[in-house]
Amino acid sequence: MTVSAPLDTEIPGADGVLDTPGRRLLADLVPVPSPSGEESAAGSRLAAFFEDRGREVWVDDAGNVRAPGDDSVLLTSHVDTVPGDVPVRVEQGDEELGAAGPVLWGRGSVDATGPLAAMAVAAVETGASFVGVVGEETDSRGARYLIEDREAPETVINGEPSGWEAITLGYRGIVGGEYAASTPAGHGARPEANAIDHATAWWERVRAAVDDANGQAEPGGFDTITATAASVDGGLAADGSAVTASMATRFRVPASETPDSVRALVDDCLDAGEVAWGQSIPPHVASPRGVLPAALRKAIRDAGGEPTHLHKTGTADANLYADAWDVPVVTYGPGDAELDHAPDERLPLAEFDRAVTVLTTACAQLTD
């Protein structure tokens, strides 16, 4: 295959700090805009990193960057980022993050170009399998393609920010639906409910049903359903014959539920209109026992850290891998997840270095 070589990116404040292959790769990737659907330029740079080091690498039909290796462990993270411009630069020190050294600012530095670059370095160092997937921030099309196109590895470490001392064991799932209603047009003085009334009343019932299902649990917590209205539209149709209303909705699914059970809960709230359901991702909770989390905990301790376990309220490709392949899957990567998608997204380079060390040490154990 032909891939373009990394560019000599000029980053303000970076003189003298891009002194390892991992830091250089990270600095090559972060300045390249890679919102979902526009990952090809970043993917090309990532592929060049492997090709320059003698690894087999190709870009598959979905756009995933694949470097096959020892399938005792598959290292995978996503190439895409959310949209947004965070000026790329290196600043010295960061009191809020407790960092004394250089800190790289830029969209994706945390979610998830930092984890992606750390995994690429560890894969080259240890011979582990690697895939950089596309579309994680939207429809997970890269991960969905991957699980259909290759056999299951023995274990998976999915790259997302956890902080270098933490291992993420669980994520909620997600299911989305589009509500739509239509009623005949009529004079505004008439008392009958129109489609917009039906939509708003339906959403109020949905929120009430979700609150009842959650009971006394803290709203938005790992063990709760979260209902979110992503967009809403409505009004008189162009031909004047009807009033229409639509609402795009998303529901986070805790481990105590399934996408099907959440769909049923929402459908029970209908008395007009209908919901067209889209793709879903099931929740996932990994066991802290077993060789995979043990290898990461040992590697964190060897690097001078004290490992902890996390359960996140979001959703990740890790859920799809665990569901489809039925193998141990955990998530790990440098960065403060509170900075995901944020306008001040940034990553201390010392934390990135520690994560590279942890991943390399863990993969060496798993591929031995």
Q: For this structure, is 274 an active site residue?
A: no
Residue type, 271: D
Q: Which of 144, 142, 6, 136 is nearest to 63 (CA)?
A: 142
Q: Among 80, 125, 340, 345, which one carries the catalytic annotation?
A: 80
The answer to whether residues 161 and 110 touch, using CB atoms and an 8 Å cutoff, is yes
Q: How many helices (H) and strands (E) does the chain have?
A: 9, 16
Secondary structure element (H or E) that encloses residue 103, with its range:
strand 99-105
* Cα–Cα distance for residue pair 131/367, rounded to 1 Å: 17
Half-sphere exposure of 11 (CA within 13 A, CB side): 29
366: left (phi over 0), alpha (psi -120 to 50) or beta: alpha
Give the residue numbers of the binding site: 78, 111, 137, 160, 341
The answer to whether residues 59 and 83 touch, using CB atoms and an 8 Å cutoff, is no
What radius of gyration do the chain's Cα atoms show? Answer: 23
> The tokens 């990135």 sit on which residue?
352
Query: Which backbone phi and psi does 198 adopt, to 5 degrees?
Result: -60, -40
The answer to whether residues 11 and 55 touch, using CB atoms and an 8 Å cutoff, is no
Q: Among 28, 39, 125, 136, which one carries the catalytic annotation?
A: 136
Give the residue numbers of the binding site for Zn(2+): 78, 111, 137, 160, 341
The answer to whether residues 344 and 89 touch, using CB atoms and an 8 Å cutoff, is no
Q: For this structure, is 178 an active site residue?
A: no
58-59 vs 65-67, strand pairing mode: antiparallel
Q: Which residues are catalytic?
A: 80, 136
